[in-house]
Amino acid sequence: MTIIALAATGVLVASISRIGSPATSAQLPALPLPWSPTPVPASAAAVALPPGSPTRPPDPTPSRSLARPEGSVTSFVPAARPSASRSSPAPPAAAEPAPATPFRASYEAESQRNVLGGQTRPLPRDDASAGLVVRFVGNGPDNFLRFVGVTVPEPGTYNVRVQYISGEPRPAMVLINGRAVMSLVYPASPDWYTVAAVTLRLPLDAGPNTIEFRNDTAWAPDFDRIDLTR
C-alpha cells in the first residue's frame, strides 16, 4: 500500500508495508518543490500545524495552504530483509561518511514509564514488540499516549519510526514536549493483529523529551513502539 504525504522540506514520499512481509512496498518518486495543489488522498495527508496550536486542525483539503511543518513523514523503512536475488555478487558499496553522532534508541508504548491517559491501556498482540500495544488512544482528550523520557544527545530532527496496528486508516496528532508538531492519518495495517510502521521526522530537544499521540475527536491507532535514529 502506498500513500503520499505532504512535506515542505523536500521529501514527498511515504509508503507503508506489513512488518516482515515480502518486499512489496513501493515508493513513489520524490516530487520537486514547490508543492503544487494536486489532490491527494485524505487518508495520507500530513498537515502542518502552526506552533502552539492547542487543538486539532480541520481536515486537510487539496487547496489548503501548507506552512512549513515542524514534523514530516519520510519513507517507510521495512524490517531488514534480503534484497532481491542477484546473478552475481553486488560490488562493494562506496564507503559513506558515518554520521557525526550515530544514535539509536527504542521505546515501547506500553512501558510503565509512559503516561497512558484515560481509557488507554496495554493489551496483548502477538505481532507486537514485547507482545503488547497500547489500545484505545483517541476519541477524547483524555485518551492519549505520552512517551516519557525520550532522550537524545543533541537538539535536531530525528527519524521516529512508529510501529502501530490499525485495521482502518486513523488520524492522530503528534505533540513534542506538549506542542503539536504534526497530524497524520496512519494508513491501515493489514488487519487488527499485524503491525505496520511509518517513519516521521520530528524535532527534538537535547535531553529528555515527551512524544504524545492523541486524537480528541476520533479513535487513533493502537501504538506498539517507537525507534529513533538520526
Integer Cα distance of 197 and 168 in angstroms? 14
Smallest CA-to-CA distance from 203 within 14, 51, 43 is with 51
Is residue 70 involved in binding Ca ion (CB under 5 A)? Answer: no
Q: Which of 138, 143, 224, 226 binds Ca ion (CB under 5 A)?
A: 224
Which residues, including other chains, have CB under 8 Å from residue 141's CB and lie 6 or more apart? 214, 216
Closest approach of Ca ion to the CB of residue 147, in Å: 11
Closer residue to Ca ion, CB minimum distance, 86 or 104: 104
- Cα separation of 173 and 213, whole Å? 6
Nearer residue to Ca ion within complex by CB, 96 or 126: 126
The residue (of 46 and 165) whose beta carbon lies closer to Ca ion is 165
Residues contacting Ca ion: total by CB under 5 A? 7
Q: How far is the CB of 205 from Ca ion (least distance, A)?
A: 25
Provide the minimum distance between the beta carbon of 83 and Ca ion in the complex, in angstroms, as a whole number: 28
Kindly tell me which of 69 and 122 has the beta carbon lying closer to Ca ion: 122
Tell me which stretch binds Ca ion (CB under 5 A): 18-26, 123-131, 184-192, 194-202: 123-131
Whether 34 contacts 20, CB under 8 Å:
no
Question: Which of 18, 135, 146, 225: binder of Ca ion (CB under 5 A)?
Answer: 225
Instruction: Give whichever of 56 and 225 is closer to Ca ion, judged by the CB atom.
Output: 225
Q: Binding of Ca ion at residue 125 (CB under 5 A)?
A: no
Does 212 help bind Ca ion (rule: CB under 5 A)? no
Pick the piece of the chain touching Ca ion (CB under 5 A) from 35-43, 107-115, 176-184, 209-217: 107-115
Task: Give the range of 5-13, 31-39, 121-129, 154-162 binding Ca ion by CB under 5 A.
Answer: 121-129
Q: Three cell numbers at 1?
A: 500500500
Distance from C-alpha of 86 to C-alpha of 61, rounded to nearest angstrom: 44
State the sign of the Cα–Cα–Cα–Cα dihedral 46, 50, 51, 57.
Answer: negative
**What is the distance between the alpha carbons of residues 178 and 228, in angstroms, rounded to a whole number?**
19
79-91 as b/e, with b when 16 or more CB fall inside 10 Å? eeeeeeeeeeeee
In sequence order, the 6+-apart residues with CB closer than 8 A to the CB of 110 are 116, 122, 130, 132, 133, 134
**Residues 128-167: x where in contact with Ca ion by CB under 5 A, - otherwise, as a string:** xxx-x-----------------------------------
Contacts to Ca ion by CB under 5 A: 108, 128-130, 132, 224-225
